[in-house]
Structure 1
């Protein structure tokens, strides 16, 4: 008996996968409707996603089997959902990000910014946060964190001083967090111990700055983090007539100011928590500052020098990256005619190209341009034979770094949303949620953001948005509220996973480097979650209203038009909030 429980625990994932479908069977057997069948599929997948008994991408494949067998959708219709335009945008954007990472352009940008900002305590935190947030807007937050953490720790080692200095009792002139104490008759051990504790707290603060800003930066662009793409795909799937309301330009106008506000507030909070409230000392005002900067500056300069001059490949990737961003912004900006609305428009005046089209175009160019000019080089396998250099981007590089599992996970989410619509489950949920119309919209948004922020601490942010967004869309339709008024803030809230090491890969990376306890991350992340929800609430009730016309109930969202006509007071956000 003593070995029974350990054996069951060892096989827990197998048992969950086998028992969950059987445990949930009464639902489709007793209530034999398409709505119940779809609910069975969603609940089963939600529990498997929460327990991670199967890989997330494997669970996302369930609709291909369950929906046709239950008569919800044809297999051909389900499979189409797994490679929609949003998935193409994800793949194309990641290919460009992989090229940026492969040629070390992101590292050059990071080190250059750090050289400009300097190494004063508060500014060093700000520098790492700005660089990490900017890079995570374009490349994976995991890759950004994995690159920035070693740089941060290398700088910290110089700030702490050499082991020889510590053993000899010499003060390290490179960095001081607190005011110098007046000379007293104390042992040398006490100041060294205090200095070690101060450095340890600053090390904790710098580590958390990096992982938090990686999550915060991803919300600024449509391709910055996967939940943003989930939102775009769900909106296009649930509301086909929306007129591409969520595109790169509109999302950036909404999310970028939110990211800046949240990033600055996070910087202030972490500075107070780990550096104290002596802002004069935190900003490095005092005598001997030039001496204090030299050691840490030398680390950054050495790292930057090792990169050497910009290669042809780096320059090409930089030009193509800038071109990609410009094309994204000018395709269909909304406030002036873009090239998609004019040059590549159909008979109805709608753009025939999408953000995914642009991303794939730039990616294809990277596969064509060689990485060196002139590029003839000796073939190491065949001496004496010349060969051309590899392209800026090769399929091997892409295949090694592309997270294909996320593509499947995105597709599974779109399949669930489509199945909910086809089975009538969305309409049923909407009818059950009509009592929410008596709650002010702003209060509804805040409550939902807090719920998502708590849920995403324990579950993948992609799985969280995949499960909740279709339900939120149904709720908004039922109470005649603009669907984006609740879908946008909840998508951003899914990125507010700051409290636990397992919440996001960036959190796990900085935690694995040591020096942090779960209590440290939870204490810093709890208030940051609250700050994040408040910043999101501010954005959704101010500048996002004219961007997405949130003060009206759009015609493309009408599922129960008669109810909205009978209750016109519910068709707008009261007072524009």
Structure 2
């Protein structure tokens, strides 16, 4: 009997994929309408995403098969949703991020900031959080964490080393700094975004070799890295995939929105929320793992310990080993800064941007998008040489000259680009379009009209808690993909500005702090040892609540002038009756 159950468990994903579509068949059979057909597809995909019976990207391809067969959309209409402007922005942004990572520019930034901040416990934790949050604004949260955790581990080893061990280890190389290099002695972990990152085989020392205080500080340092990676990603439109899902869903559902969600408007909304949440997370982790002894935590009035000096020397040594900035690093830095400037000034909203002036249609609307800018800079990375232009000897063919390689090559991009996210984004856009074409959005809106009697801030608070809870167990991309079209329909039904509901729930999808499986940064930190699930859950529970409160502050204050939330927008009248425009003033928060 036990063998039978073991066999069924081993084949559980095959059985789910086979029987779940059959189990849900009564819905479209008993209710033969397009709304029911679309609901069948959405429920099926949601369950597949939740249990991960199929790879997330493969599940996202189902609308191409189901929607034409159900008569909801033809195949060409469904297929075009898989490569929209938001997908292009994702690809272009990652091209620049891959270049930054490829030339180790992110490591140089991290080590330089840590040298400035210092190694006192509270300041060291703050330094790691600031660096991790900043890097995760521009490159993958997963890649940022995979780089920062070994650095934190090496610094902790020096801080917790007995003084007599210093001379024994002096001058030896620190293997934990071998970041993202091929090495047979390293394990690799494959994360849910399809990227593979090496995990050094140097976990945090067991508690028996440390006192309680050292062990707790190690836990706090580990959590501060993974938490700040998730927090930092919310600040920019390309920082984490749910932000791009929101932009794509808004553009898919409301084609005349005037590009209301762009890089500049999102940054103005999310960056202050990120700063506040990062500061509160630092205070919470400091209280939880370092205690109230601020004099000791900040190193006030005391002399530097030998361990502190040793830890500082480790960081200093690794920074020196990088040497002076190469031509490639300088070129990538210039292009990265240029990209950010072009993003901010394209269509800022409060003054005419270069997109409105130089590349506008007859209505004065910008013809170029953030994706256009990202791809433009991405193409330049394939053109600019990685060394000062000149000729060198080809080592494979003596006597022949060879030009230097470009800043990026396709082999590097192909290895590091998470192509599965492109399909995952496209699947979400196809679901949103199918909901609109089938009439499911309008039906849902009609059923949700009783919520008009509830205070809008109360609705948003409950929804943020729901999304934050849901994202602990499900991919944050899948969470936003499933929730946002429903939230848009609900907002239209009760005459709320759609962004008043969609923006906070998108941020809430990044509040995955409680479980190791919730997000790849959590999994990386947990794999290093020294942490229990209960430790992460205890620290993450309050941080989730704090995150929701910060989001409520953001959506009910400075987001109003940025997105003009005071009135119900004309572009949101997709399925809305004229009653919403009798009094266009939004309810007071």
Same fold (TM over 0.5): yes
Q: Is the 8 A contact 2:359 2:366 kept in 1?
A: yes
Give the 3-state SS of the residue equivalent to 1:574 in structure 2: coil
| CA-CA distance at 1:385 after TM superposition | 1.6
What is the rounded CA distance, in whole Å, between the counterparts of 2:372 and 2:402 in structure 1?
Answer: 32
Residue by residue over 1:141-166, the C-alpha shift from the partner in whole angstroms, topping out at 9 and shown as x without a partner, is 00000000000000000001148549
| TM-score normalised per structure 2 | 0.92
> Given the alignment of the two structures, is residue 517 of structure 1 paired with residue 565 of structure 2, yes or no?
no
Partner residue in 1 for 2:113: 113
Question: How big is the alpha-carbon RMSD for the aligned residues of Structure 1 and Structure 2?
Answer: 1.6
Distance in 2 (alpha carbons) for counterparts of 1:307 and 1:194: 32
- Aligned-partner SS, 1:514: coil
Which residue in the other structure is 1:560 paired with? 576
Q: What SS class does the counterpart of residue 211 from structure 2 fall into? A: helix
Paired position in structure 2 for 1:284:
299
| Alpha-carbon distance in structure 2 between the residues aligned to 1:239 and 1:340 | 21
Q: Residue 378 of structure 2 aligns with which residue?
A: 363
The corresponding residue for 1:187 is none
3-state SS, counterpart of residue 289 of structure 1: coil
- Whether contact under 8 Å (2:158, 2:308) holds in the other structure is no
Once residues 6 and 128 of structure 1 are traced to their aligned partners in structure 2, the CA distance between those partners, rounded to angstroms, is 44
Listed as ranges, the matches of 1:144-543 within 5 Å are 144-162=144-162, 164-165=164-165, 196-289=211-304, 291=306, 293-543=308-558
Q: Distance in 1 between matches of 2:585 and 2:549?
A: 22
Q: 2:133: which partner in 1?
A: 133
Residues 389, 404 of structure 2: 8 Å contact kept = no
Whether the 8 Å CA contact 1:441–1:573 is kept in 2: the answer is no
Q: How many residues align?
A: 550
Separation in 1, partners of 2:530, 2:401? 51
Task: Please tell me whether the aligned partners of residues 163 and 307 of structure 2 are also in contact (alpha carbons under 8 angstroms).
Answer: no
Q: CA–CA distance in 2 between the matches of 1:376 and 1:150?
A: 38
Mapped to 1, the partners of 2:131 and 2:166 lie a distance apart of: 31
Query: Whole-Å Cα distance in 1 between the matches of residues 367 and 567 of structure 2?
Result: 27
Task: Describe the superposition over 1:470-519 as per-residue Cα deviations: whole angstroms up to 9, x where unpaired.
Answer: 00000000000000000000000000000000000000000000000000
Paired with 2:319 and 2:163, the residues of 1 have a C-alpha distance of 25
Counterpart in 2 of 1:189? Answer: none
Contact 1:481 1:572 in 2 (8 A): no
Distance in 2 separating the partners of 1:344 and 1:114? 42
Rounded Cα–Cα distance in structure 2 between residues aligned with 1:13 and 1:291: 54
Deviations 1:503-560 (A, max 9, x none): 0000000000000000000000000000000000000000000000111100000122
2: CA distance between counterparts of 1:335 and 1:290? 52
SS of the equivalent of 2:258 reads coil
Report the secondary structure of 1:389's partner residue: coil
Does residue 100 in structure 1 map to residue 116 in structure 2? no
* Aligned counterparts of 2:67 and 2:294: Cα–Cα separation in 1: 59
Using structure 1 for the length normalisation, give the TM-score: 0.94
Structure 1 residue 562: deviation in Å?
Answer: 2.1
Contact 1:340–1:353 under 8 Å retained in 2: yes
**Residue 279 of structure 1: CA displacement?**
1.1
**What residue is the counterpart of 1:174 in the other structure?**
none
Partner of residue 91, structure 1 = 91
Structure 2 SS opposite 1:384 = coil
1: CA distance, partners of 2:493 / 2:255: 18
